[in-house]
Amino acid sequence: MVWLVRIAIANDMLIAVEAMRRVLVRVPEYKLAWVAYDGAQAVSKCAADTPDLILMDVLMPSMNGVEATRHIMSQSPCAIVMVTASVNRYAAQVFEAMSYGALDAINIPALGDGNGLLNKIATIARLIGKSSHRRLQPTAYPKSLPPLIVIGASTGGPQALLAILSQFPQDFSGAVVIVQHLDAQFASGFANWLDEQVSLPVKLASPGSSPQPGQVLLAGTNDHLVMRPDLTLDYDKQSQDCFYQPSIDIFFSSVAQHWTGKGIGVLLTGMGRDGAQGLKRLRQTGWHTIAQNRQTCVVYGMPKVASELNAAVEVLPIEAIASACIKFLPNSKLSL
Span 29-66, pLDDT tens digits: 899 999 999 999 999 999 999 999 999 999 999 899 99
Please enumerate in sequence order all residues whose Cβ is within 8 A of that of 315, keeping only pairs 6 or more positions apart, or say none: 290, 291, 292, 293, 303, 307
What pTM, to 2 d.p., does this model score?
A: 0.71
Choose the catalytic residue: 52, 71, 181, 253: 181
Predicted confidence at residue 99, as pLDDT, reads 87
CATH class name, domain 5-127: alpha beta
Active site residue 288: no
Q: Where in the chain is the domain with CATH 3.40.50.180?
A: 148-326
Active site residue 62: no
Separation between Cα atoms, residue 227 and residue 28, nearest integer Å: 41
Choose the catalytic residue: 99, 154, 254, 332: 154
DSSP 65-90: HHHHHHHHHHHS--EEEEEES-TTTT
Question: Within its chain, how far is the Cα of 285 from the centroid?
Answer: 25
CATH topology for the 148-326 domain: Rossmann fold (3.40.50)
Predicted confidence at residue 334, as pLDDT, reads 62
Choose the catalytic residue: 274, 288, 307, 332: 274
Separation between Cα atoms, residue 139 and residue 160, nearest integer Å: 27
Active site residue 76: no
Predicted confidence at residue 134, as pLDDT, reads 36
- β partners of residue 35: 9
Ranges in the chain, pLDDT < 70: 1-3, 112, 131-144, 238-243, 330-336
Cβ atoms of 160 and 101 closer than 8 Å: no
Q: Where in the chain is the domain with CATH 3.40.50.2300?
A: 5-127
